[in-house]
Amino acid sequence: MLLVMLGMAVGTGNIWRFPRIAATNGGGAFLVPWVVFLLAWSVPLLLVEFGMGKGARRGPVGAFAELVGDGWAWMGGWVVLCATFIMFYYTVVTGWCVRYFWASLVGEIPGAEPGAVWAAYAGSGWAVLTMAIGLAIGLWVVARGISGIEAAARLLMPVLILLVVVLAVRAVTLPGAERGLAFLFTPDWSALSNSRIWLEALTQNAWDTGAGWGLALAYATYARAREDTTINAFVLGFGNNSISLLAGIMVLCTVFSIRPEASAEIVGAGNNGLTFIWMPQLFAAMPGGRFFMGLFFLALFFAALTSLISMIELGTRTLVDRGISRSRAIVLLGGAAFVLGIPSALSLPFFTNQDSVWGVGLMLSGLFFGIAVLRYGVDRFRTRFVNSEGSDFAIGRWWNLAIVLVVVEALVLLAWWLSQTIGAEGLVAALDPFREWSLGTFLLQWGVALALLLLFNRRLSRRTPPVEAAEEPA
């Protein structure tokens, strides 16, 4: 179960987002709020998800209805919808990893011109093909059931962790690698007074650990009754951030060793630019670079695949909760993912739009989990679902405060984001719904989704039998 959960949490965001965000937000100083929010956002929310999943034995829609009442099923619907829309474009990311792993095997990258392969591939029909390959692999694993997912995690996660460790060790042994370590760990304490650092650290934790996505909840529905909620949530949070830290060391040591003069440009090139344009260039300049480049893209593919599997499982679990057979649910979800993933595969602006809209939407998901627990009763939830049977480590009253903090953090973050967006562009420009990034596009897509969920709330809240309590030891 731990490997399955870790597979869910460890994704491409650990490898391509964390190093970039840490490097551009105060280095060592960023790591302080990053650790604080591991304990003040990720772990408390993961405890909620584990508790709800194990307690309700249903996906997020059924779990919200079961715990806080039928009128609140739409909140669970939002959690599922948000993660499922992310899944649609995440299939494209998985496809990119497939393509670049292949390109590294056949020696197609880095090529003479940096970014030439990316320019020819991204947004082309080939991106649709590789998306379909990535999606098909994910669907195949989920079609084998929860034991299939567990088998995949048992294979992929140890290999992924080993690959990241090998690449990190290789990176720190490169000449000049200490400049990367110094860049990552030298603290600029004055940066801690900048609210942006704290907000970036919170966003990174929300993205990184998968807390509030509903994915841990979906997996927890299958957990044994005696599975320890507390230890699972802590291992997941700490394990995920351990991989992020390794990835940060790996990427920044490589950048500062190979191209120290261009480090600012490389780190500032965005997720795609850093990973698919610059990393091949950097590996090419390294002794044994082609071998390590292959390992890097294999690790990236494994990270993407294990996360994609969890997103497919969440959608499948939700449809199964509606009374649809598992095989039919997978076919329906696969068909929808293929059709709705095509626009993101063919258009990078559309991809960016979806990434932004549903990525920020995760803040609402976390907020809804927090509200649900507050409504149910924080102390009651902790006693009944967190410190439940099988939990050897009781969670104290600090968690009650942590849940209130989660709600406050989500509200502050959303308010800050709104004020920044309106302040930077003006209200009229910000409300234009047809731009790649605007308040208008967020409100339009969120508004339609929320209106539909509220409209169909009664149908959503219809109960189906829960997943049976897991077997106990003989």
Partner 1 sequence: MTAAAWTTFAVVAGFVWGGFLLLLVVAMRKERGKRDGETGSVRVP
Give residues in contact with partner 1 (CB under 8 A). 1-2, 4, 28, 31-32, 35, 38, 145-147, 150, 178, 181-182, 185-187, 222-224, 226-228, 231-232, 234-235, 238-239, 241-242, 245, 390, 392, 467-468, 470-471, 473-474
Nearer to partner 1, 37 or 446 (CB): 37
Nearer to partner 1, 150 or 425 (CB): 150
Residue 219's contacts (CB-CB under 8 Å, 6 or more residues apart) are: 1, 4, 5, 8, 53, 310, 313
Structure token digits, residue 19: 């190093």
Task: State the nearest-atom distance from the C-beta of 60 to partner 1, in Å.
Answer: 17
* Residue of 132, 134, 53, 79 lying closest to 306 (CA atoms): 134
Gyration radius of the chain's alpha carbons:
21
Instruction: Look at the block and give the residue holding tokens 């390109």.
Output: 103
Which tokens go with 243? 């991989």
* Closer of 189 and 291 to partner 1 (Cβ): 189
Shortest spacing between CB 254 and partner 1, in angstroms: 17
CB of 364 to partner 1, least distance (A): 28
Tokens of residue 265, six digits:
């440009």
Q: Shortest gap between Cβ of 411 and partner 1 (angstroms)?
A: 28
Tokens 């990270």 correspond to what residue?
A: 303
User: Which residue number, 206 or 372, has a Cβ lying nearer to partner 1?
Assistant: 206
- For the bound state, the minimum distance from the C-beta of residue 270 to partner 1, rounded and expressed in Å, comes to 25
- Least distance from partner 1 to the Cβ atom of residue 74, Å: 25
Least distance to partner 1, CB of residue 442, Å: 33
DSSP category for residue 469: P
Task: Quote the least distance from Cβ 303 to partner 1, whole Å.
Answer: 17
Instruction: Take residue 160 and report the two structure tokens written for it.
Output: 């992924």
Burial 267-300 (b: 16+ CB within 10 A, else e): bebebbbbbbbbbbbbbeebeebbebbbbbbbbb
Question: Which CB sits closer to partner 1, 230 or 441?
Answer: 230
Quote the least distance from Cβ 195 to partner 1, whole Å.
21
Give 235 or 414: the residue with its C-beta nearer to partner 1: 235
Nearer to partner 1, 231 or 429 (CB): 231
Instruction: Identify residue 278 by its one-letter amino acid code.
Output: W
- Which residue's CB is nearer to partner 1, number 114 or number 145? 145
Nearer to partner 1, 181 or 418 (CB): 181
Identify which of residues 113 and 392 has a Cβ nearer to partner 1 in the complex: 392
CB of 239 to partner 1, least distance (A): 5
Residues 6+ apart with CB under 8 A from 257: 171, 174, 175, 176, 177, 179, 180, 286
The one-letter code for the residue type at 426 is G
Q: What angle (nearest 5°) sits at the alpha carbon of residue 59, between those of residues 58 and 62?
A: 65
Instruction: Quickly count: other Cβ atoms within 10 Å of residue 214's Cβ.
Output: 34
Whether residue 347 contacts residue 92, with contact meaning beta carbons closer than 8 Å, is answered with no
What's the length of the chain? 474
Decide whether 407 or 470 has the Cβ nearer to partner 1: 470
Tokens at 67, concatenated: 């715990």
Please report how close the Cβ of residue 278 comes to partner 1 at its closest, in angstroms: 24
Measure the CA–CA gap between 429 and 440, rounded to whole angstroms: 9
Q: What is the largest CA-CA distance in the chain?
A: 65
Interatomic CA distance for residues 58 and 48, integer angstroms: 14
- Smallest CA-to-CA distance from 1 within 227, 284, 191, 212 is with 227
